[in-house]
Amino acid sequence: MITDINQLDLSKQYTYADYLTWQFTDRVELIKGWIRKMSPAPNVIHQKISFNLSVELGNFFKNSNCNVFAAPFDVRLINKRRSTDNSQIITVVQPDLCIICDDNKLDENGCIGAPDWIIEILSSGNTKKETQEKFSLYEENLVKEYWIVQPGDQNILVFDLINDKYQLRKIYTNEDVVPSGIFSELQINFAEIF
């Protein structure tokens, strides 16, 4: 059992089977086999936005077949691989929020396969590289809708998956109502989130 991230060889690629054996307190994600240490606990603004979005989404999806999950929650992305064997999975992420409408993608460890919708809330620890990596991962795995909430700039970038590529629909700001692209009846008042 590995209890300290410093016991790992960070120049080596790992699988989800390895990930399951780690017992250290640091939160990590696995991006195509490479360990990515996550930032310390998010700040108050990040948590407030996450909570407000969770409430809005939870109320909307309350009586539907869709589930809303907040980090920490493991999403194992399998891309075009057919194998869901733990030793073959090389990407495990923990999006701030995700919506999953197919119960077959859920098991006791989280989600296996692409959620329908992912929301990431940037914080000071998020790097441009990390943002670009996840953007590519989510696009490659066909996540239908992707929001990037930028508290510092007070905006939300909304991307829709069109022909297997993300298209920026709009950058929403504090006077906007933000609609979902895949759930036509869902609209979130931006001012109630921040």
| 21 within some domain | no
Q: Please indicate, yes or no, whether the overall pTM of this predicted structure exceeds 0.85.
A: yes
Q: Which domain holds residue 165?
A: 39-192
Residue 109 clears pLDDT 70, i.e. is over it: yes
CATH number at residue 99: 3.90.1570.10
Rounded Cα gap, residues 38 and 140, in angstroms: 22
Rounded Cα gap, residues 159 and 147, in angstroms: 6
| 33 within some domain | no
| 118 within some domain | yes
Q: Residue 108 — pLDDT band, cuts 50, 70, 90? A: very high
| 29 within some domain | no
| Per-residue pLDDT at 81 | 62
Specify the range with the lowest mean pLDDT, choosing from 25-29, 32-36, 50-54, 166-170.
25-29
Q: Are 121 and 151 in contact (CB under 8 A)?
A: yes
Number of domains making up the chain: 1
| Per-residue pLDDT at 83 | 75
| 23 within some domain | no
Residue 90 clears pLDDT 70, i.e. is over it: yes
